[in-house]
């Protein structure tokens, strides 16, 4: 059931928080061995928290939209006194002394933390095969990947191991796994949600957002987690709208652009046809759909894989074995300790990106790579700016393919990087975007996601379009694991 359905039952006293927690725990016990969605499950704490929330409600306490709702949290978001690892050996025993701002906001709602969800190490990956704690499997077909890096949050929401979840998105890490797992995944405008307490990968690209089973829950979670935070210098200072108020059943005269650069040859035919079918439904509802060109989007993948590794190289330099995290105990010199601690603590993909980023920032190459990438990033932003003068939203596939088999792309990083070809431009421009399920592949019965992109701080248009697509398509299929 969705969070809003459970909320209504709680208000009517048809169900207790303990009932909900027991149901989710029962599902975790039944399927977690197949999905590996979690690094850590808070089983005892869940029931204690549920009992406390039931007592609070019994005393006449206010029932918020997510009061008593079990939510999974990606393991790169700090939770006070609960181990937060980023799915890396280097942080396998790290216990934060503070909560991330999004966690504080959820606690104000009296949510129930199901556990810390598995992910690609330091959020670097598109398949959730880079975790120190093992691969996550797709609930629709456990031989396939769930997408990444928020594979654990997406799989847990799809498999009923959480009612919804919180992930992070640097180049598609919420939307791509949402597409592959058949759930809704929203990346808000950069700065709309505080990054305080999110362990950084690429600071100019990272953004926290929700993964849910429908658009209404997505809007509800945005109401909770969005807002200004003085602890985050990039946080936007504005009054939060009521995101649920944008869920209106009307897209007449909505202007929709379909970028040709996001319908390229790498997109599978079945994905294209399913997205086109959804666009036809929008036209039937009165929306105006046109193909457009954003010429500089063809450089987005190249730009991203210079900027993101460069920022990662800088951000991950703090993990040196000195203050916290894994430390080699056999090293005899400081340099040897750095080298051995980081060599042992980081996985292959993280090392690859650190080396690429360090190279791009090095003397003699900074101007040729990093500075040039930032200039092309500005051209991509300008393309979007021009498009949004004419169109309310842009629509594309979320992922070029459905879920691929585990191991299929692991030895070919360049092919793996193409998994984010449709989502990366959004992060480069700081735009809001959502992935919603719009159908299943004819042969494999695997989910296909459609991406709706909006202008900066125009979550209203994104949610309105997504809500109407959801209602028109009527996607109600469940994963095979259920």
Mean pLDDT value across residues 324-337: 94
The mean pLDDT value for 83-103 works out to 97
The confidence band for 209, taking pLDDT boundaries of 50, 70 and 90, is very high
At 266, the pLDDT band (50, 70, 90 cuts) reads confident
Residue 120's pLDDT is 98
Rounded-to-integer distance, Cα 478 and Cα 139, Å: 9
Contact indicator for 245, 222 with CB cutoff of 8 Å: no
Q: How many C-beta atoms lie closer than 10 Å to residue 238's C-beta?
A: 12
Token pair of 292 as six digits: 């457009």
3-state SS class at 209: strand
- Binned at pLDDT 50, 70 and 90, residue 482 comes out as confident
Residue 444 scores a pLDDT above 90: no
Which of 88, 126, 156, 173 is catalytic? The answer is: 173
Q: What value does the CA radius of gyration of the chain take, rounded to a whole number of Å?
A: 21
Q: Measured between alpha carbons, how far is residue 166 from residues 73, 82, 89, 202 in Å?
A: 5, 16, 22, 18
Cis peptide before 149 (omega within 30 of 0): yes
Closest CA to 424 of 308, 276, 259, 257: 308
State the Cα–Cα distance between residues 111 and 215, nearest whole angstrom. Answer: 19
Half-sphere exposure of 222 (CA within 13 A, CB side): 32
CA angle (84, 32, 110) in 5-degree steps: 55
What SS3 state is found at 93? coil
The answer to which of 54-63, 261-270, 295-304, 422-431 has the lowest mean pLDDT is: 261-270
What CA–CA distance (Å, rounded) separates 226 from 400?
29
Percent of the chain with pLDDT over 90: 95
Looking only at the bridges linking them, the beta strands covering 164-169 and 184-187 are unpaired
Q: Is the pLDDT of residue 77 over 90?
A: yes
pLDDT of 348 higher than 80: yes
Buried/exposed 283-312: b ≥16 CB within 10 Å, e otherwise? eebebebeebebebbebbbebbbbbbbbbb
Residues 80 and 45 sit within 8 Å (Cβ to Cβ): no
Q: Which of 127, 149, 179, 310 is catalytic?
A: 149
Q: Give strand pairing partners of 453.
A: 394, 433
Measure the CA–CA gap between 173 and 163, rounded to whole angstroms: 19
Assess whether 435 carries a catalytic annotation: no
The pLDDT, as a whole number, for residue 414 is 84
Other CB atoms closer than 10 Å to residue 445's CB: what's the count? 13
Say how far apart CA 392 and CA 465 lie, in whole Å. 9
First-to-last C-alpha distance (Å) of the chain: 13
Residue with tokens 């991203």: 304
Residue 269 has pLDDT above 90, yes or no: yes
92: helix, strand or coil: coil
Whether 74 is catalytic is: yes
389 an active-site residue?
Answer: no
Active-site choice (16, 74, 137, 399) = 74
Structure tokens at 114: 């199901």
* Average pLDDT value for residue range 266-274: 94
Split at pLDDT 50, 70, 90, the class of 480 is confident
Distance CA 369, CA 194 (A): 29
Number of helices (H) and strands (E) in the chain: give both, helices first.
15, 11
CA-CA distance, 82 to 458, in Å (whole number)?
35
- Give the rounded percent of residues in the chain with a pLDDT score beyond 70: 100
pLDDT band (50, 70, 90) for residue 264: confident
pLDDT bucket at 413, cuts 50 / 70 / 90: confident
Indicate the pLDDT class of residue 412, thresholds 50, 70 and 90.
Answer: confident
Distance, in Å, from the CA atom of 181 to the CA atom of 87, rounded to the nearest integer, reads 20
Q: Which domains can be identified in the chain, with CATH numbers? A: 3-256+390-473 (3.90.1300.10)
Q: Please, what is the average pLDDT of the chain? A: 96
**Which tokens is 236 given?**
């936007």
DSSP string spanning 309-375?
Answer: HHHHHHHGGG-SSSSSS---SS--SHHHHHHHHHHHHS-HHHHHHHHHHHHHHSTTTTIIIIIHHHH
What gap in Å lies between CA 15 and CA 19, rounded to an integer? 6
Indicate if the pLDDT at residue 324 is higher than 90.
Answer: no
53: confidence class by pLDDT, cuts 50, 70, 90: very high
Average of per-residue pLDDT across 8-21: 97
Asked if pLDDT for residue 326 goes beyond 80, the answer is yes
| pLDDT band at residue 156 under the 50/70/90 scheme | very high
Is the pLDDT reported for residue 57 higher than 90? Answer: yes
225-240, pLDDT tens digit by residue?
A: 999 999 999 999 999 9
């Amino acid at each position: 059931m969705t969070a809003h359905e459970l909320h209504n039952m709680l208000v009517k006293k048809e169900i207790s928080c303990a009932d909900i927690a027991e149901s989710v725990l029962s599902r975790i016990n039944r399927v977690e061995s197949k999905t590996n969605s979690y690094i850590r499950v808070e089983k005892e704490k869940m029931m204690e928290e549920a009992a406390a929330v039931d007592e609070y409600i019994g005393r006449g306490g206010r029932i918020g939209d997510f009061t008593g709702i079990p939510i999974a949290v990606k393991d790169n978001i700090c939770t006070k006194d609960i181990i937060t690892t980023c799915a890396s050996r280097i942080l396998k025993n790290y216990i934060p002394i503070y909560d991330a701002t999004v966690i504080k906001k959820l606690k104000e709602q009296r949510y129930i933390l199901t556990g810390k969800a598995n992910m690609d190490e330091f959020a670097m990956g598109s398949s959730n095969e880079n975790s120190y704690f093992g691969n996550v499997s797709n609930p629709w077909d456990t031989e396939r990947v769930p997408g990444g890096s928020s594979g654990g949050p997406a799989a847990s929401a799809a498999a009923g191991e959480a009612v919804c979840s919180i992930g992070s998105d640097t180049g598609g890490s919420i939307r791509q796994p949402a597409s592959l797992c058949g759930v809704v995944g929203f990346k808000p405008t950069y700065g709309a949600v505080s990054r305080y307490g999110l362990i950084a990968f690429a600071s100019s690209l990272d953004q926290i957002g929700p993964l849910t089973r429908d658009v209404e829950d997505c809007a509800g979670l945005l109401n909770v987690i969005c807002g200004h935070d003085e602890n985050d210098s990039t946080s936007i200072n504005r009054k939060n709208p009521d995101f649920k108020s944008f869920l209106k059943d009307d897209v007449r005269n909505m202007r929709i652009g379909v970028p040709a650069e996001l319908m390229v040859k790498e997109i599978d035919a079945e994905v294209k046809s399913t997205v086109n079918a959804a666009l036809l439904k929008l036209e039937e509802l009165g929306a105006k759909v046109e193909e457009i060109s954003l010429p500089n989007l063809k450089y987005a993948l190249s730009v991203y894989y210079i900027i993101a590794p460069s920022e990662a190289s800088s951000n991950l330099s703090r993990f040196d074995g000195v203050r916290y995290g894994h430390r080699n105990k056999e090293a005899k010199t400081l340099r040897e300790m750095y080298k051995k601690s980081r060599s042992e603590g980081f996985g292959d993909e993280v090392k690859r990106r650190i080396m690429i980023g360090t190279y791009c920032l090095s003397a003699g190459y900074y101007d040729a790579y990093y500075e040039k990438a930032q200039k092309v990033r500005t051209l991509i932003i300008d393309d979007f700016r021009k498009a949004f003068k004419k169109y309310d939203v842009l629509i594309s596939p979320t992922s070029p393919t459905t879920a691929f088999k585990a191991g299929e792309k692991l030895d070919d990083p360049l092919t793996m990087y193409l998994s984010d070809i449709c989502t990366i431009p959004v992060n480069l421009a700081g735009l809001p975007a959502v992935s919603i399920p719009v159908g299943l592949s004819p042969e494999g019965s695997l989910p296909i996601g459609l991406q709706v992109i909006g202008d900066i701080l125009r979550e209203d248009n994104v949610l309105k379009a997504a809500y109407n697509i959801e209602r028109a398509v009527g996607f109600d299929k469940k994963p095979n694991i259920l």
